[in-house]
Amino acid sequence: MNQPTSSKNKILTWQALGLMTFSSVWGFGNIVNGYANQGLKAVVSWIIMFTIYFIPYTLMVGEMGSTFKDSQGGVSSWIRSTSSAKLAYFAGWTYWICHMPYLAQKPQSMLVALGWAIFRNGSLTKMMSPLVLQSIALILFFFFLWYASRGIRSLKHIGALAGSTKVIMSFLYILLALAAPYITEAKTFTYRLDMETLMPTFDFDYMTTLAILVFAVGGCERLSPYVNNLKDPSREYPRSMIFMTIMVCVTAILGTFAMGLMFDPQNVPKDLMMNGSYYCFAKLGEYYGVGQTFVVIFALCTLIGQASTLAVSIDAPIKILLADVDEKFVPERFRKINSRGVPVTGYQLTALLVGILIIVPALGIGDMTSLYNWLMRLNAVCMPLRYLWVFYAYMMLKKHQDRFQSDYHFVKSAALGKMAGAWCFFFTAYACFMGMFPRGVAAYSPAWTFQFTLNILTPLVLFGIGVILPYLAKKERERRAQ
C-alpha cells in the first residue's frame, strides 16, 4: 500500500512538472517526422489531432492524476484501482515490452548523430551496408545493456542536461527559422497558404501516417507518479497537463511552418526522418553565417541524450513492471534480482528480442534510410499500444466514479466520460493498425511484403510472451504444490 508523500517531498510546481512532461513527450524529431510524412499538410493534421485526440487525452490523464494523487505506479496503479491485478500486470507488461523496437532504434540514432558530429553530413549511413551498420548498432546496444547492468547512473544526469539543451535548441530553431526571411538575406522556400497546400487528402495513404502522429503526442502519463510531489495535486496536476498541451500545440504548428521555409512540401527528401533534424540546423547555419556550428552542437547533444535514454530505457521499464507485479503472473526466475538490483532474466530477454529486431530487418530491407524509416514506423505501431491502457483506465474510472473523489473532472458525466475514453481507445487502435501498412515501397512487392509481415508479427510476438508468462507461473506453482 502506498504511503502519502510527506510535505517535505512536495517540491514541484505545476509549471515545472508541465515542463518535465513536455520534455518527455515532445521533441524536435516529432515535428520533422510529421513534415516528412505529410509536408505542410501536417499543420492541419496537427490541429485535428490536438482537437479530437491529444487535448481529451491529456485532460483524462489530468483527472486520473487528480483522482489517484497518492499513487506511485502510474497507469498500472490506475488499472489496479479501477479493474484488477491481472489487467494491471498486462498494463505493466505492455509498458515494458513496447520499448523493444524503441531500444532497437536508439543505437541507429546514435550512429546517425555520430556521423553528423564527425563528418558534418549524413555520409556515415551511406558508407557501409545496412547489415554492417546494424551489427555495429547491436554491439552498441550490448555495451549499454552491460552498462545498465552495472547499476551506474551518472550518464542519466549528463543526458538530462543534453535533453534540456535539445529542447532549448528546438525552440531556438523555430524562432530563428521563422525570423530568417526578415533579418537575413537567406533564400527560403516560398509556399502559398491556401487549402490546396494545407488540407490533407483523407485517403488510405494518409491514414497510414496517423500512427506517427499518435506516437508523437502520446506518453504524458509517464510522469504521473510525480503527481504527489505537487503542493496541491488535485488542482495543480491538471494545470500542468494543460500547460504542456499548449506548448506542444504551439511548437508543432510553428515548427511545421518553419520547416516549410526550408523544404519543398511537394518534394520532401526520402531521408528526412533520419537526417531531417540535422538538415534543419545545417540550413540555419547557412542562413546566419555560422557554418556547421549548430549541426555539431545539436549532434553532440543528440548523441549524449540518446546514449542516456538507451541506458535508462533498458533498466527503468522492466523495474516498473516488477516493482508492484502480482507474483502469480510472473515466474520466479523472471522476478529474480541480483546483488546489483538487476533483473537478470529480464535483461536476457531484452537482449534476445532487441537483437532480433536489430539484425533480422537488415537481411530484407535494402538500404539504411528505408531501414531507419521502417523501424521508426514500427515504433509508431507498438508504442501507442500502451496508451490503450490509459483510456481503458479512464473508462473504468467513469464507470465507477461514485467510488472515487477528485477535485478536477475532464467531464462530470459518466456517460460522456466513457464515450470520450472509448473514442480515444479505438482511434489509437485504428492508427496502430493502419501504421502496419508500409509506406515508400511499391505495394505488394517483396520489400512491402517483408515489412508488412514484420509489422504484424512483432507486436503479436512481443505481447504474446506476456500471455505465456502467467501460464508458466501457474505451472511453477503447481510443481511446488506437488
CATH number, domain of 101, equals 1.20.1740.10
What amino acid is encoded at 150 in this protein?
R
Question: How many structural domains are present in the chain?
Answer: 1
In-domain check, residue 482: no
Contact 231, 252 (CB under 8 A): no
What amino acid is encoded at 182 in this protein?
Y
Contact 37, 29 (CB under 8 A): no
Separation between Cα atoms, residue 88 and residue 85, nearest integer Å:
5
What is the per-residue burial (b if ≥16 Cβ within 10 Å, else e) of 379-412? bbbbbbbbbbbbbbbbbbbbbebeeeebebbbbe
Provide the residue-wise pLDDT of the chain in tens; the chain has 482 residues. 444 444 555 677 888 888 888 877 888 899 999 999 999 999 999 999 999 999 999 999 888 888 887 776 678 888 989 999 899 999 989 989 999 999 999 999 999 999 999 999 888 888 888 999 999 999 999 999 998 887 655 555 665 666 677 778 888 999 999 999 898 888 887 777 788 888 999 999 999 999 999 999 988 887 776 776 788 887 888 888 899 899 999 999 999 999 999 998 888 999 999 999 999 999 999 999 999 999 999 999 889 888 888 887 888 788 778 766 778 898 888 888 888 778 889 899 999 999 999 999 998 887 899 999 999 999 999 999 999 999 999 999 999 988 988 888 898 899 999 999 999 999 999 999 999 999 988 889 999 999 999 999 999 999 999 999 999 988 988 888 87
pTM higher than the cut 0.75: yes
pLDDT of residue 324: 66
In-domain check, residue 217: yes
In-domain check, residue 1: no
pLDDT of residue 348: 92
In-domain check, residue 455: yes
In order of 66, 196, 200, 263, the CA distances from 205 in angstroms are: 39, 17, 11, 21
The x, y and z cell numbers of residue 452, run together, are: 508488412
pLDDT of residue 372: 94
Separation between Cα atoms, residue 18 and residue 167, nearest integer Å:
13
The x, y and z cell numbers of residue 457, run together, are: 508479427
What amino acid is encoded at 448 in this protein?
W
Q: From the CB of residue 179, how many other CB atoms can be counted at a distance below 10 Å?
A: 14
pLDDT of residue 298: 92
In-domain check, residue 155: yes
| Sign, CA torsion 226/229/234/239 | negative
In-domain check, residue 2: no
Contact 89, 329 (CB under 8 A): yes
Strand partners, 337: 343
CA 431 to chain centre: 15
In order of 34, 114, 118, the CA distances from 295 in angstroms are: 21, 11, 10
In-domain check, residue 3: no
Angle at 168 between CA 164 and CA 169, to 5 degrees: 115
In-domain check, residue 4: no
pLDDT of residue 299: 93
CA 92 to chain centre: 16
Separation between Cα atoms, residue 166 and residue 152, nearest integer Å:
23
Q: Cell 516529432, residue?
A: 30
What amino acid is encoded at 428 in this protein?
T
Separation between Cα atoms, residue 240 and residue 132, nearest integer Å:
45
Closest CA to 130 of 317, 482, 368: 368
Contact 206, 230 (CB under 8 A): no
Q: At what angle do helices 55-67 and 233-260 cross, to 10 degrees?
A: 160
pLDDT of residue 335: 84
For 96, the domain range is 12-474
